[in-house]
Structures are given as structure tokens and as C-alpha cells.
């Protein structure tokens, strides 16, 4: 074996030997010099010295591999990945605040400065620095929680005016808040880096979606296009696009869409915002916020040796996590729920087997059919909506 065999680069990437192989190489070379009968075990001085040299060489090979891999977003990690994605004009997302779309109602022309709303548990939500109520008497703004982190707020729970202002009458969130995120992990950053490369792509829709994906606070997103002369099966008007975005501010998403869509293309959705181009020309941009569709599951299991009731919480969490990980508009396939419920590859999973499984909309009757989710909806599941039935 030559030293070149221990670390090398070929068409498939960087390769290096493990530590035992490196140690064996140094031992063999030492014996070539001093004789095959030399004693090199770990309790000898020569053996310990050779082990130090082998460890140093192995550590250098590991460092070289990490340096090599740092040049690609697909293999780099931690700070190297953070540096690498800058070439795509993006950065690792830091921890974020929860945000919610608040419907502000009041007298036209009222200006709310540094306003705050409050939810049912006393958490304050900051409105934009200045909000002007339009002639319609109603405006939707994106508010951020005063506290950093994963702050939950269900629909209709942010309904108190914390900073009273003359002319401001009511506040409410028609949809649940989007919880804040921790520092973006490597896997999510790689996914977003891949999406960001679509910005200069030949497909305008891919570029538009890539711009929306890069908006701060956006967690899930989907895009549809109807290039026909008639309304399609999803209700999209002719020659229009529909963007569904979860999280992020209404203004930032609308501006991202306006910057990337082609002139004359209509935007379709239930949330609207007027953007202005460089010449001050207004452009009404519409998009969707995903509608959460609650899913309930009932899992019937037979307990085996080693099963404890504590494993029920693991099953519930696994099923809920799977459903909550589905993409916007993704159908809930009934048979795939078994994989999540079985806890495959875990110690807990070997202490029971799933007899049957039922699923359905909440409220509603549970059954064994696949659950259809509309293009602007997202399946959600709470652990409270997962029931475990244990048979003897």
C-alpha cells in the first residue's frame, strides 16, 4: 500500500482511509525499516509513537475532506455552508419571531403608530410602525410576537387592542399565527439554496416561487399556473398564477411576486396587497395563505412484551409529525400513516404491532379512505386528535 492510497480524489469525490488502516500503514513502513519482528503493540514506546503519527495523519485527512466538501452546498456543514450559500444571495436564517395576519378595523384615515395587540394569554403582538386604515375601514397587516421563539396563537385569539388609538375599533386574527423558527439547520438551508438557484431559471414560475421562498419568515410555499384560455379545475382564471405561502409578511410576499412575474399575468388568491413599481404604478397582487385542515387518527394496536403506556405518546407524536410535514396541497394517503404509527427502527416499535388504523377530517367520521386536500390547503394534526386503542 502506498501513501497515495490512503487519501485521494477521483470522479466520485474525496476518499480517505479509516484510522486502523492508517495505523497499519505506519506499522508496515516501520517494520520495513527495522525488521518484521519489531514489537509495535500499544504498550510499547515505539507503538505509541507510531499511533501518534497515524492519528495526526488521519486528522489531517479528515480536515482535508471537510475542506474539500465545504466547496459544495450539498456536502458542506455549519459555518462553511453559511459562507457557501452567499454566492446565491441568501443567508442562513436566524431565530425568528412568530407572526400573524391581523385584521384591523376602524375609521378611515386613522393612523396607528407603534400599535400592539394582545392575545388571550397576554402575549403582545407588534403591528408595523405605522398603519393607516384605508377608506374601506379595514386592513390586513402582519404582526410579530414581542417574544422571540415558537409562540402559538390560534385563530381568533389575538383580539385585544393593547395600545388604544382613537379610531381603531377592533383587531382579530382570522387564521392561526405562524410559529417562530429556531436557527435554520443545514438540511433546510440546503433545500432553500436549491430553490434559490431557480431565480434566474428559464421558467418564470420557478423564479417567482424561488423569490417567495427567500422571503423572511416563509416556511412552506407552493405555486400553480393556468396558461389556458379557460378556468382550470382548481378555479384559477385563464393566464394566471396562484402562489400559496405560509409565514412571512403580506407586503414582502406581494413584492417578491410582483418583481418576478411576467407583465400581464394575473395573480389569483384571497390575500391582496397593492405594490408599486419603480415608476409608482400600482399593481394589485393576490396570493393564498394555506387553510389548515385538521386530521384525526385512531390507531388500534396489540401490546407485546416490553410495551408501556408511555409509548402511546411516541405513536401520537410520530403520526402528528408525519401529517404536519406534508406539503401544501398534499393528499393524506391512508396506508402511509401505518409507517408513522409503527415507529419502525425504534425500541418502542418492537413492543407492539398495529392492528388497524382509521383517519378522517376533524370533525368528521374516521375511515380508511385517502383524504383529499385542496391546492390551497395544508393537512395538520394535533397529538390531541390522535387516539390509541390497545387490545389485550
Residues 232 and 322 in one domain: no
pLDDT for res 200: 57
Whether 37 is covered by a domain: the verdict is yes
Report residue 291's pLDDT band, with 50, 70 and 90 as the boundaries.
very high
Residue 70, pLDDT score: 80
In a domain, 77, yes or no: no
Is residue 24 assigned to a domain?
Answer: yes
Q: Is residue 151 part of a domain?
A: yes
What integer pLDDT is reported at residue 113 of this predicted model?
95
Residue that wins the pLDDT comparison between 228 and 2: 228
> Which whole number is the average pLDDT over 378-390?
93
The predicted model gives 224-229 an average pLDDT of 89
pLDDT above 60: residue 202: no
347 burial (CB, 10 Å; 0-12 / 13-18 / 19+) is: exposed
pLDDT at 196: 67
Q: What is the mean pLDDT of residues 83-101?
A: 81
Question: Are 250 and 297 found together in one domain?
Answer: no
User: pLDDT class for 87, splitting at 50, 70, 90?
Assistant: confident
Q: Sheet of 97-106: strands edge to edge?
A: 158-161, 116-119, 124-126, 138-148, 97-106, 168-172
User: 241: pLDDT confidence band, cut at 50, 70 and 90?
Assistant: very high
Cell 466520485 locates to: 12
Residue 235: per-residue pLDDT: 87
Domain membership flag for residue 78: no
Q: What is the pLDDT of residue 379?
A: 94
Domain that holds residue 231: 198-287
Reply yes or no on whether the pLDDT at 316 is more than 90: yes
In a domain, 192, yes or no: no
- 386 shares a domain with 301: yes
pLDDT band at 300 (very low <50, low <70, confident <90, very high): very high
The whole-number average pLDDT for the span 302-319 is 90
Domain boundary among 287, 322, 348: 287
Least confident of 14-23, 92-101, 158-167, 185-194: 185-194
- Does the pLDDT of residue 137 top 80, yes or no? yes
**What was the pLDDT predicted at 199?**
54
Single out the residue in 231, 257, 287 at which a domain terminates. Answer: 287
> What is the number of structural domains in the chain?
4
Which residue did the predictor score with more confidence, 25 or 150? 25
| Residue 198 pLDDT level (bands cut at 50, 70, 90) | low
Same domain, yes or no: 297 and 376: yes
- 204 and 164 housed in the same domain: no
**Comparison of pLDDT for 179 and 136, the residue scoring more:** 136
Task: Please list the residues that pair with 371 across neighbouring strands.
Answer: 332
Residues 111-133 have pLDDT tens digits of 999 999 999 999 999 999 999 99
Residues 139/145/150/155 CA torsion (nearest 10 deg): -40
pLDDT at residue 201 is higher than 80:
no
Residues 333, 312: contact at Cβ < 8 Å? no
SS3 letters across the chain: CCHHHCEEEECCEEEECCHHHHHHHHHHHHHHHHCCCCCCCCCCHHHHHHHHHHHHHHHHHHHHHHHHHCCCCCCCCHHHHHHHHHHHCCCCCCCCEEEEEEEEEECCCCEEECCEEEECCCCEEECCCEEECCCCCEEEEEEEEEEEECCCCCCCCEEEECCCCCCEEEEECCCCCECCCCCCCHHHHHHHHHHHCCCCCCCHHHHHHHHHHCCCCCCEEEEEEECCCCCCCCCCCCCEEEEEEECCCHHHHHHHHHHHCCCCCEECCCEEEEEECCCCCEEEEEEECCEEEEEEEEEEEEECCCCCCCHHHHHHHHHHHHHHCCCCCCCECCCHHHHHHCCCCCCHHHHEEEEEEEEEECCCCCECCCECCCCCEEEECCHHHEEEEEEC
Bridge partners, 224 (sequence order): 242
90, pLDDT greater than 80: no
Per the model's pLDDT, the better-predicted residue between 299 and 87 turns out to be: 299
Categorize the per-residue pLDDT at 13 as very low, low, confident or very high, splitting at 50, 70 and 90. confident
d(CA 40, CA 51): 9
Residues 268 and 337 occupy one common structural domain: no
pLDDT at residue 296, as a whole number: 96
Q: Which residues contact 252 (CB under 8 A, 6 or more apart)?
A: 215, 216, 217
pLDDT of residue 192: 76
Are both 61 and 126 inside the same structural domain? no
In a shared domain, residues 386 and 298? yes
Is 87 domain-assigned?
no
Same domain, 299 and 386: yes
- Please tell me which residue, 104 or 202, carries the higher pLDDT value: 104
Residue 381 lies in a domain: yes
Note whether 309 and 269 are same-domain residues.
no
Instruction: Pull the grid cell for residue 252.
Output: 414582502
Are both 278 and 306 inside the same structural domain?
A: no
Pick from 246, 270, 287: which residue ends a domain?
A: 287
Say yes or no to pLDDT of 31 above 80.
Answer: yes
Is the same domain home to 262 and 307?
no
Amino acid at each position: 500500500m502506498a501513501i497515495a492510497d490512503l487519501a485521494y480524489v477521483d470522479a466520485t469525490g474525496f476518499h480517505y482511509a479509516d484510522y486502523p488502516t492508517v495505523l497499519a500503514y505506519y506499522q508496515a513502513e516501520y517494520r520495513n525499516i527495522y525488521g518484521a519482528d519489531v514489537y509495535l503493540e500499544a504498550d510499547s514506546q515505539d507503538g505509541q509513537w507510531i499511533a501518534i503519527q497515524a492519528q495526526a495523519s488521519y486528522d489531517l485527512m479528515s480536515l482535508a475532506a471537510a475542506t474539500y466538501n465545504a466547496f459544495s452546498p450539498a456536502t458542506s456543514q455549519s459555518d462553511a455552508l453559511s459562507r457557501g450559500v452567499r454566492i446565491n444571495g441568501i443567508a442562513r436564517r436566524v431565530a425568528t419571531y412568530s407572526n400573524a395576519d391581523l385584521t384591523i378595523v376602524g375609521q378611515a384615515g386613522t393612523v396607528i403608530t407603534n400599535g400592539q395587540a394582545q392575545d388571550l394569554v397576554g402575549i403582545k403582538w407588534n403591528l408595523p410602525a405605522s398603519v393607516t386604515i384605508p377608506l374601506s375601514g379595514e386592513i390586513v397587516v402582519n404582526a410579530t410576537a414581542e417574544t422571540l421563539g415558537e409562540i402559538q396563537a390560534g385563530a381568533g385569539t389575538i383580539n385585544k387592542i393593547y395600545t388604544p388609538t382613537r379610531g381603531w375599533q377592533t383587531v382579530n386574527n382570522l387564521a392561526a399565527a405562524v410559529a417562530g423558527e429556531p436557527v435554520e439547520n443545514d438540511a433546510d438551508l440546503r433545500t432553500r439554496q436549491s430553490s434559490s438557484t431557480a431565480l434566474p431559471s428559464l421558467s418564470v414560475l420557478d423564479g417567482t416561487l424561488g423569490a417567495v421562498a427567500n422571503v423572511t419568515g416563509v416556511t412552506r410555499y407552493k405555486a400553480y399556473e393556468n396558461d389556458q384560455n379557460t378556468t382550470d379545475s382548481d378555479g384559477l382564471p385563464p393566464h394566471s398564477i396562484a402562489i400559496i405561502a405560509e409565514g412571512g409578511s403580506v407586503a414582502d410576499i406581494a413584492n417578491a411576486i410582483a418583481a418576478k412575474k411576467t407583465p400581464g399575468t394575473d395573480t389569483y388568491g384571497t390575500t391582496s396587497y397593492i405594490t408599486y413599481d419603480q415608476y409608482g404604478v400600482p399593481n394589485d397582487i393576490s396570493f393564498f395563505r394555506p387553510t389548515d385542515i385538521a386530521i384525526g387518527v385512531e390507531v388500534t394496536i396489540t401490546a407485546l412484551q416490553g410495551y408501556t403506556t408511555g409509548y402511546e405518546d411516541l405513536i401520537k407524536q410520530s403520526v402528528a409529525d408525519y401529517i404536519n410535514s406534508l406539503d401544501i396541497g398534499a393528499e393524506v394517503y391512508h396506508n402511509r400513516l401505518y409507517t408513522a404509527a409503527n415507529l419502525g427502527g425504534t425500541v418502542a416499535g418492537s413492543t407492539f404491532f398495529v392492528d388497524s388504523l382509521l383517519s378522517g377530517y376533524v370533525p368528521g367520521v374516521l375511515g380508511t379512505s385517502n383524504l383529499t386536500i385542496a391546492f390551497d390547503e395544508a393537512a395538520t394534526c394535533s397529538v390531541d386528535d390522535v387516539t390509541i386503542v390497545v387490545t389485550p
